[in-house]
């Protein structure tokens, strides 16, 4: 048994093995997962919300006038 190391992001519970390792590894292998500490920056949060928007029932977006109204 030999080891390979790579960084990846999980999408829908799936971690993709880089192409350069697929033939060498084959179909059966052992996985040891080392997860980084969760430290979302503001750009990560925005990226996440754009990728997975929240669906709220009865949501009505503000009109431009309502956004800038300061009364």
**Where exactly are the structural domains of the chain?**
1-35
pLDDT digit string (tens) for the chain, length 71 residues:
888 899 998 899 999 999 999 888 888 889 898 887 766 566 778 888 889 988 899 999 999 999 998 77
Q: CA Rg, the chain, in Å?
A: 21
> How high is the pLDDT of residue 16?
92
Phi-psi map region of 13: left, alpha, beta (phi>0 left; psi -120 to 50 alpha): left
Q: What is the pTM of this model?
A: 0.45
């Amino acid at each position: 048994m030999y080891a390979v190391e790579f960084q990846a992001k999980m999408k829908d519970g799936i971690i993709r093995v880089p192409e350069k390792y697929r033939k060498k590894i084959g179909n059966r292998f052992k996985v040891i997962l080392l997860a980084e500490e969760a430290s979302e920056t503001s750009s990560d949060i925005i990226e996440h919300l754009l990728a997975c928007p929240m669906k709220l029932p009865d949501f009505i977006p503000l009109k431009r006038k309502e956004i800038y109204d300061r009364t």
